[in-house]
Amino acid sequence: MKKTFIAASAAALLAVGSGAYYLVAHSNNAAPMATYVLLDGSQKSTADFKGRVTLVNFWATSCTTCVAEMPKIIATYDKYHAQGFDTLAVAMAYDPPSYVVNYAQTRKLPFQVAIDNTGAAANAWGPVQLTPTTFLVNKRGEIVKRFIGEPDFAELHRMIEKLLAEA
């Protein structure tokens, strides 16, 4: 048990900043393979992220922090999308699909929204149990950072710019 804890501690740095917890992952930490059902009924997989810097945001309409950060996620998407940045908002399994559809439509979310109705995507990524939980994935499909709680958006933007500049 101690060896496992020490190895896990050595593999990640947990820090606190701006009320959010950050897990810095090694650059070779591949994003888990998962399939997402989008609001329009189409599917997307983690493999579709390759070649783009991607923000994967696990959220819920009942989560006040999620709702509060969503305009900043929209602004981030709008700022960087044309440069090769994408966002996928994944609604948690307990979130009623009608609430998710209503939220996405009334807020005119410009990025893809998925409903994780089985919880399989949240389990693949962690498991993700707290919302919001957001992952930043580089062009190679590797998790660069995990945010639990609202990210420091100035720091997030710096990271996105650095990742977009990479070949």
Q: Is 41 exposed, middle or buried (0-12, 13-18, 19+ CB in 10 A)?
A: exposed
Tell me which residue has tokens 């947990």: 14
Give the orientation angle of helix 64-80 with respect to helix 153-165, to 10 degrees.
30
Q: What is the mean pLDDT of each successive set of 10 residues along the chain, which is 167 residues long?
A: 31 32 50 95 94 98 97 98 98 97 98 96 95 98 97 97 95
- CA proximity to 144, closest of 129, 127, 164, 122: 164
Give, as one character, the DSSP assignment of residue 133.
E
CA distances from 114 to 8, 41, 53, 56 (A): 30, 9, 18, 10
CA distance 25 to 13: 8
Asked whether 115 and 95 are in contact (CB, 8 A), the reply is yes
Domain boundaries of the chain, sorted by first residue: 24-165
CATH T-level fold of 24-165: Glutaredoxin (3.40.30)
Give the predicted TM-score (pTM) of the model.
0.83
| Residues 100, 105, 107, 110, CA torsion sign | positive
Give the pLDDT of residue 12.
Answer: 31
